Amino acid sequence: MRRSGRIAVVLATALGVLCAPSAAFAADWHVSKAGDDMNSCSSPAPADACLTIQHVAGAVANDGDTVHVGPGIYAEAVSAAGKQLTFLGAGQGTPDSFNSSTDTLIRPTSNDVALRMMSGGTVRSLRVEGGSSPPAVDNAPGMLLSAVGAGGPIPYSVSDVVATGGMKGGLSADGIVVNDGGTGRFVRTSIADTAARYLGAAGINVFGANVSAAITRTTLIPLATQKQVALLLAGGASATMAESTVSDNFPTTGISVSDPGSSLGLVRSTVRVQGLPLLVANAAAGTAQAIALDSELADINPVGTFPEAVLLRNTAVAAGAHITFAARGSTLVSRGAPPANQTLGGLLLAGPGVPGSTVDATLQNSVVRAERTDGDPAHFDVGAANQASATLDHSSYTDVLTQAGGAVTPPGTAGGVTGNPGFAAAASGDFSLSAGSPLVDRGDPAVAGPNELDLAGAPRSVDGDGDCVAAPDIGAFERPDVHAKAAAPQAVQASR
């Protein structure tokens, strides 16, 4: 009986394998610049590899298969249509350089998306650049991750990619677009170790009520002087951005969160631009929100209409529209010389002044600082207007502006610290804390998470001022522990 029972288990296992879905037998196909579409596509050898990616994606590969793409420039628009495929390139190069002998680039000659995927899939180790067109017509995104038809959630995974929209005419399209194609389906996207370049359009554009993106170790950087926004969340989309960087040397918006349901989680990330690092806007029923943890939002030499580090703007004309913002262990800085007679602000809450619609911000262990470099004193660290409300706890800020019923926790209360925060080198853009900063060990230990790290990856809640009491610093950067143990000396063996 024991033997027959064991055989039954083996048979059941074998039948399970035989009846497994076809994805278990996914195939690998190969594309090479030395190949031919008449080949079998079965290996990277020139006698086997195919010549074009679209031939394999459209006529050869099945759902679940992997398409290996060799180095070189592929002048084609690739669409996976209704298949969930993996595209694996030979390398993505760097954001500023590409080697056709070692890297893979998809760049259509027509005004089309370089890589279009509609049913989920994976993209790794390649470069995409959207097709360009005359200035009168929009350019195409580098990569479109979307949905067709009905069904369950659609997963996407993108890593080690450089993405750029088409660039003809002095402007660019989005680097990466993630949406649901109007289907209402859930689209879940992971983007890691990727660079998205932008010029007049978004680096990454996430749109849709059921659309989300987890962005990790990714860099959003400009192409030239004409900018729009690095990361755009709209239509109810949500995204987390961790250990990532937005950088720009020209006027732009770093991250824009708009529309009811849209939300951002910023974790140990840097957003440093000339203009507006973070905009959260809403005008309709529902809530747009953003959270910043151990992050830096810096407006360097701001110009334009809204020279703040963070702007929360509610323009609703009826009740039910809300904006919320929370920051913990973060640094919000606006530093520069805006146009004459214009106020420079760190954090501005612009409420609608409509009963039942709100703008609220809560900051803990954070520093908010506005510094004019032209000598004009017209600035504020925290401002609130039209019934907006900012609550700050164990945070650093000094100048407050309130109008039309706006409310801000008075500076110096609730564990707050006023005056110069003691940045290491604010003039050169270093907003870490100097050894003598009054913000060292002044944060609230109760709100620092276990094993929490600062923006630079250092542990939180250490003894940075030498009083033998460990506590978190205020702001995105933690001073080193002055009592950190040195390497133990080696034992010396006594001689006899």
Amino acid symbol at 458:
A
The region, left, alpha or beta by phi > 0 then psi within -120 to 50, assigned to residue 51 is alpha
More confident residue, 467 or 425: 425
* Banded pLDDT at 340 (limits 50, 70, 90): confident
Taking the C-alpha atoms of residue 291 and residue 293, their distance in angstroms, rounded to an integer, is: 7
Residues in the chain: 496
Same domain, yes or no: 226 and 351: no
**Mean pLDDT for the chain?**
88
Taking the C-alpha atoms of residue 127 and residue 310, their distance in angstroms, rounded to an integer, is: 32
Number of structural domains found in the chain: 2
Residues 64-87, mean pLDDT to the nearest whole number = 96
- Residue 7 resides in a domain: no
Residues 65-92, mean pLDDT to the nearest whole number = 97
Same domain, yes or no: 233 and 253: no
In this predicted structure, which of 178-182, 219-223, 241-245, 365-369 has the lowest mean pLDDT?
Answer: 219-223
Same domain, yes or no: 206 and 254: no
Taking the C-alpha atoms of residue 452 and residue 51, their distance in angstroms, rounded to an integer, is: 50
Query: For residue 221, what are the β-bridge partners?
Result: 197
Same domain, yes or no: 290 and 327: yes
Same domain, yes or no: 212 and 336: no
- Residue 3 resides in a domain: no
Tell me what pLDDT residue 459 has.
Answer: 94
Residue 23: count of CB within 10 angstroms of its CB: 11
Q: Which of 242, 257, 282 is the last residue of a domain?
A: 242
Tell me what pLDDT residue 161 has.
Answer: 98
- Residue 355 resides in a domain: yes
Q: Which of 195, 224, 242 is the last residue of a domain?
A: 242
Could you give the residue ranges of the DSSP H alpha helices within 318-443?
none
Tell me what pLDDT residue 23 has.
Answer: 46
Q: Which of 189, 209, 242 is the last residue of a domain?
A: 242
Same domain, yes or no: 34 and 122: yes
- Residue 17 resides in a domain: no
- Residue 6 resides in a domain: no
In this predicted structure, which of 132-146, 373-387, 450-464 has the lowest mean pLDDT?
Answer: 132-146
Same domain, yes or no: 330 and 277: yes
- Residue 14 resides in a domain: no
Same domain, yes or no: 235 and 157: yes
Give the CATH number, domain containing residue 35: 2.160.20
In this predicted structure, which of 36-50, 53-67, 196-210, 426-440 has the lowest mean pLDDT?
Answer: 196-210
Helix (H, G, I), strand (E, B) or coil at 10: helix
Tell me what pLDDT residue 399 has.
Answer: 96
Tell me what pLDDT residue 111 has.
Answer: 85
- Residue 359 resides in a domain: yes
Q: Is the pLDDT of residue 201 over 60?
A: yes
Tell me what pLDDT residue 486 has.
Answer: 46
Q: Are 48 and 41 in contact (CB under 8 A)?
A: yes
Q: Is the pLDDT of residue 467 over 90?
A: no
Range of the domain at 227: 22-242
The residue to which tokens 């649901």 are assigned: 180
**pLDDT 10s digits, 158-169:** 999 999 987 655
Tokens representing 422? 């003691």
Q: Is the pLDDT of residue 260 over 50?
A: yes
- Residue 488 resides in a domain: no
Tokens representing 491? 């034992």
**pLDDT 10s digits, 203-254:** 999 999 999 999 999 999 877 655 678 999 999 999 999 999 998 766 678 9
Share of the chain above pLDDT 70, in %: 87
Q: Is the pLDDT of residue 2 over 70?
A: no
Tell me what pLDDT residue 434 has.
Answer: 96
More confident residue, 210 or 337: 210
In this predicted structure, which of 73-82, 194-203, 442-451 has the lowest mean pLDDT?
Answer: 194-203
Taking the C-alpha atoms of residue 243 and residue 40, their distance in angstroms, rounded to an integer, is: 42
Same domain, yes or no: 384 and 324: yes
Q: What is residue 371's DSSP assignment?
A: E
Q: Is the pLDDT of residue 171 over 60?
A: no
Residues 12-17, mean pLDDT to the nearest whole number = 35
**238 contact partners, CB below 8 Å, separation of at least 6:** 206, 211, 212, 213, 261, 262, 263, 264, 265
Same domain, yes or no: 233 and 251: no
* Banded pLDDT at 373 (limits 50, 70, 90): confident
Residues 52-72, mean pLDDT to the nearest whole number = 97
Q: Are 401 and 345 in contact (CB under 8 A)?
A: yes
Same domain, yes or no: 313 and 202: no
Tell me what pLDDT residue 134 has.
Answer: 61
Same domain, yes or no: 89 and 237: yes
Taking the C-alpha atoms of residue 382 and residue 401, their distance in angstroms, rounded to an integer, is: 6
